[in-house]
Chains A and B, each alone.
Chain A
């Protein structure tokens, strides 16, 4: 196994932690506004798990960075161009159907990626992934059930879920992009090549969409630029400006 380069490891950890941070933030926006009380609880629980995972991923990222920073510094004091999450997670929530469809498309990937990380060569990555995988196996079960229930529900719920899938699907491909950071992770045995997960992902998504009576869109076009930081959507800046407001307005305070 190749010795891992810290710059690459840092990028990998930011990608992983920023995904959970930004998705956790988006999900938390639902608080008090869900269609039914049980969903309020489930959404808060999902957001809580994701924020908990973020603390671990970004905490490790800050250590690897070696500049004396904390997970909070990384979450609250970086600007948009330094975020490394995929575009999928920063998109606005839309309606409840779009939120749950996005959740499933992410959970499905997460549930396939994490068990690999849990068996990798980096002890810290392994530990975090082992903890997260338990939470995520529940997330994917729940989001899949909801996608199936709404896809195979009424005419209206079906139409809304199909529209959500059509809108979100072009953002899925970015999860399977590979670059030199991923190559370094593969060489060091820390993480798999994202592209290698695609078949398993397509099979899982295909099974769920079939039960949901939804059609996976044709075409392989993928919006990307989030995980490399090359180009985020316009939405991330607004998310970050509210998320970071207190830390920016009152620098150096303890909370």
Chain B
């Protein structure tokens, strides 16, 4: 997940007649579920779309350290602190892995980071929401990682080989995080009244932002069609969102928490839960930079990068001296 509103060059898709021979051959591979590998020919727009999507995904993993890091120093037990540290470490690792996948498309990590800091690339809207009480950490694992997994399990079948393989590995760790998150929130929901209140507060605040993670409704998602045809995306936003709601509502009921949306009801006919759409105006506001934490998150990331310039320069200078000394010795 963590990739929303990925732009393709133009809405809609080319018909076979409009395609060049090369493009037709490419599309045939996709249609036959043959993975595209870095050295294969690919349409420029496929490459650009993937760079945007994988890059946004990588940025999300990196920025996602911040709301969780917000609670590492206040984790209530040594075990919870260790679990959270391990999770954040995994996520930074996912970021690294995804940047490497993006680099196979001919872009550098530094370039992607620069685009993020200049506001030319985005990260998932969810990380622009604050973590305000300890139950948020459980809820992030349960809801946010839960939502991410639904998307990423689908993405294991994505057409670009390195991205698909990254997803297989990442999904394993994310599933573990989601289980740990659910366990943490279970402790709260079944704990003291104060803890239950924290769990409810976290659920109420994070429910709609979690639904937004899947991106706008299919009818408003102008770039989805081409991405689906290229199998960069393999399920629609609405399909994935419905799957998330269907999976999560029974979990909320098991926890004995109130549903965060009075519109949630079982629909016999559809055999799915009905639910209230998130406020898409809020979603677009967050994307435009007006979420509760956008400014702080970017300021933190830029500060980390800028304050670290001397470290990167120093280590690079040392590596060059060592290399020069080796050459001189030979």
A51/B85 contact (C-beta < 8 A), A37-B95, A153-B318 known: yes
B143 within 8 A of A: no
Verify A32–B313 contact, CB threshold 8 A.
no
Residues of B78-106 contacting chain A, CB below 8 A: 78-82, 85-86, 88-89, 92-93, 95-96, 99
B327 at interface by CB-CB < 8 Å: no
Contact: A157 with B311, CB < 8 Å?
Answer: yes
Query: Binary interface profile of A, 224-255, with partner B (CB < 8 Å = 1, else 0)?
Result: 00000000000000000011011100101111
Q: How far is the CA of A255 from the CA of B188 in the complex (A)?
A: 7
Q: Quick check: is A10 within 8 A (CB to CB) of the other chain?
A: no
- Chain B residue at minimum C-beta to C-beta distance from A243: B73
> Is the beta-carbon distance between B89 and A149 smaller than 8 angstroms?
no
B275 CB to nearest A CB, Å? 31
- With contacts A29-B73, A44-B89, A243-B74 known, is A254 near B314, CB below 8 A? no
Q: CB within 8 A of B308: which of A21, A41, A96? A: A96
Contact of B62 among A37, A58, A97, A153 (CB under 8 A): A37
Interface residues of A in 124-179 (CB under 8 A from B): 146, 148-150, 152-154, 156-158, 160
Bound complex: CA A252 to CA B193 (Å): 12
Complex: A51 Cα to B66 Cα, angstroms: 20
A47 within 8 A of B: yes
Is A82 an interface position by the 8 A CB rule?
A: no
Contacts of B82 in A (CB 8 A): 48, 51-52, 55
Residues B50-81 near A (CB distance < 8 A): 62-63, 65-66, 68-69, 72-81
Contacts of A160 in B (CB 8 A): 310
- Whose C-beta in chain A lies nearest to the C-beta of B62? A37
Q: Which residues of B contact A110 (CB under 8 A)?
A: none
- Interface positions of A from 58 to 116, Cβ below 8 Å from B: 58, 71-72, 75-76, 95-97
Q: Is the Cβ of B314 less than 8 Å from the Cβ of A253?
A: no
Residue from the list B76, B92, B95 in contact with A255, Cβ < 8 A: B76
Contacts A51-B78, A55-B82, A242-B73 given; does A36 touch B313 at CB 8 Å: no
The answer to whether A40 touches B195, judged by C-beta atoms less than 8 angstroms apart, is no
Chain B interface residue bracket vs A:
35 or more
Instruction: Check if B187 sits within 8 Å of A254, measured CB to CB.
Output: yes
> Smallest CB-CB separation from A28: which chain B residue?
B72
Residues A153 and B313 in contact, CB atoms below 8 Å apart: yes
The DSSP consensus for interface residues of chain B is helix
Instruction: Select from chain B the residue with minimum beta-carbon distance to A48.
Output: B85
Is residue B271 within 8 Å, beta carbon to beta carbon, of the partner chain? no
Interface of A is mostly: helix
- Whether, in the assembled complex, B321 has its beta carbon less than 8 Å from a beta carbon of chain A, the answer is yes
B134 located at the interface, meaning its Cβ lies under 8 Å from any Cβ of chain A in the complex: yes
Residues of B within 8 A of A36 (CB): 308, 311-312
Q: Taking A31-B65, A245-B74 as contacts, is the C-beta distance between A157 and B88 under 8 angstroms?
A: no
Question: Shortest distance in angstroms between A73's beta carbon and chain B's nearest beta carbon?
Answer: 10
A150 near B314: Cβ-Cβ < 8 Å: yes
Minimum C-beta distance from A248 to chain B (A): 10
Does B191 sit at the interface, judged by CB under 8 A? yes
**Contact in complex: B310, A152 (CB < 8 Å):** no
Q: Mark out the residues of chain B between 250 and 309 whose CB falls within 8 Å of any chain A CB in the assembled complex.
A: 300-301, 303-305, 307-309
0/1 string, A33-53, CB within 8 A of B gives 1: 111111111001101100110
Tell me which of A32, A96, A149, A253 contacts B195 (CB under 8 A). Answer: A253
A25 within 8 A of B: yes
Contact check, B96 vs A41: say whether CB atoms are below 8 A apart.
yes
B329 near A: Cβ within 8 Å?
A: no
CB atoms of B308 and A35 under 8 A apart: yes
Q: Name B96's contact: one of A37, A153, A156 (CB within 8 Å).
A: A37
- Which residues of B are interface residues toward A (Cβ below 8 A)? 62-63, 65-66, 68-69, 72-82, 85-86, 88-89, 92-93, 95-96, 99, 134, 184, 187-188, 191-192, 194-195, 300-301, 303-305, 307-319, 321
Q: Which 10 A-B pairs have the closest CB atoms?
A: A35-B308, A157-B314, A153-B314, A31-B69, A32-B65, A44-B89, A246-B76, A35-B311, A255-B76, A149-B318
Question: 11 A–B contact pairs at CB < 8 A?
Answer: A21-B78, A38-B96, A47-B85, A51-B78, A51-B81, A55-B78, A149-B319, A150-B314, A154-B317, A157-B310, A157-B311
